[in-house]
A = this chain, B = another copy of it.
Amino acid sequence: MTDESAGRAPLPATATTVVVGAGYAGLTAAVDLHDDGVDVVVLEAADRVGGRVLSERLDHVSGLVIDHGGQWVGPTQTRLLAAAQRFGVSTFPTYNTGDHLELWTDGVCRPFRNAGPADGPGVAAYEAATEQIDALAATIDPDHPGATASIADWDSQTVQTYLDREVSDGDARTRLALAVQGVWTVEPRDISLFHFLFYVASAGGFDQLMETEGCAQERRFDAGAQAIPQAMAAYLGDRVHTDAAVHRITVLDDGGVLVDTARGQVRARRVVVAAAPGAAVRIQFTPPLPQARNRWMERSPMGDVAKIHTVYDTPFWRSVGLSGEATVYGDHSVGVVFDNSPEDGRLGVLVSFVYADRQQRWARLPDAQRRADVLATLTALFGDQAGAPLHYTEKNWPDDPWAHGGYAANPAPGVWLEHAETGWRTACGPLHWAGTETSPVWNGYIDGAIASGRRAAAEILAALR
């Protein structure tokens, strides 16, 4: 959602701190600084706040709010829950009653709960593998990833290599591949075993990433997940400037920083760069950033994901005992489906996720074929009714001009080992780094973004004292 009422005021010539990026990370940093009395200005490239969180109100569909980006909150995501409480945004449980469906590679559709159908191919081996993954991840202290005993070994091999070697059951490997696609929005070949395990550790275990009840997908926001950054921006008032893309950041000899946008220049004592790595790396830094930080950002590409919402006059799947959640293997583009209906169930909403290799193929199709492709999968899962939605809408994150993808940036193999020490999030003089990718907790999630904003604000408060 965009807010027409604010954002285009002239930029101030100076501010104690400039925050680059008005996603959860940047706005959290700005709120913390503002709370502590620090003069702060937020510069956002897009015409809205929220970053990779984007809610849309469909006025022609009963005012339904859908979330094109990050949308869930889990019980251990205490920072996000606290932000929701502070800014008055209520939550409700993700619909999680009835059977999930699994459409397997052979076209067989099986109901399930938990990790997979009891009679599903490779489920037992999959569960054994996730136990091993949790055991390996438990050796990582997410606050000190570089100190992990096996980091050199684990960051030198892809997850695909690990799966090929350790998981002999091909069906279990297929399941784990969808888990990687669904959580990291990449293929197992694209990330290292270390990044995979770090991410698991930062979330508190594999199930936390995968499950709904008690886990990352437990609850949703009545007003959409963007309501919180919008409320943060309202709290900050005219300190938040949209349509203000930063293209150059210059650290002066006197320690001050010049931040350049097409709408003018702001001079600051400290800067928080809270844009995603793939956006931040496109800023021209003078003098050039330290090699470790530059390489960290250059080598952390965003994942590939699209979210497709289909709206129906009722959540009709519920009446036949289905939860609306589904996992899809084989030739389908859709990988995962969730019930994304409003809490009162006045409408039925399914959200379909398309990831990684499948996203790349799907995104190249013409509009009508993309839609037909998604609806064919939904029909295979939920029957003909699913193929005739009242409303169909897509958000293809790799096309987003500022985020360049989603959900998060994933360091390539070797990057953690080579650059964790100083490249991950260490301040470079007056330049501080935020964004969920810099978080040791819930890395890649909204909660991690908030944690990173709090840390960056604390760094600056300490520096200004």
Which residues of A does B touch, CB under 8 Å? 155-158, 160-161, 186-190, 192, 247, 278, 281-282, 284, 288, 291-292, 294-295, 298-299, 301-302, 304, 357, 360, 363, 398-399, 401, 404, 412-414, 417-419
Contacts and interface: CB of A to CB of B under 8 A. Distances in A.
A399 B292 CA distance: 11
B284 A189 contact: no
Given A158-B158, A188-B156, A282-B284, A291 B363 contact: yes
Given A187-B414, A301-B299, A360-B291, A158 B157 contact: yes
A294 B156 contact: no
Contacts of A157: 157-158, 160-161, 189
Specify which of A160, A298, A357 lies most central, judged by the most chain B CB atoms within 10 Å of its CB.
Answer: A298
Contacts of A186: 414
Contacts of A357: 418
Contacts of A190: 412-414, 418
A445 B63 CA distance: 58
Contact of A404 (B161, B294, B417): B294
A170 to B, nearest CB: 14
Contact of A301 (B156, B160, B298, B399): B298
Given A158-B157, A282-B282, A299-B301, A189 B399 contact: no
28 contacts: A156-B160, A156-B188, A156-B189, A157-B158, A157-B161, A158-B158, A158-B414, A186-B414, A187-B414, A189-B414, A189-B417, A190-B412, A190-B413, A247-B284, A281-B281, A282-B282, A282-B284, A288-B399, A288-B401, A291-B304, A291-B360, A291-B398, A292-B360, A301-B412, A357-B418, A360-B418, A360-B419, A412-B412
A200 to B, nearest CB: 20
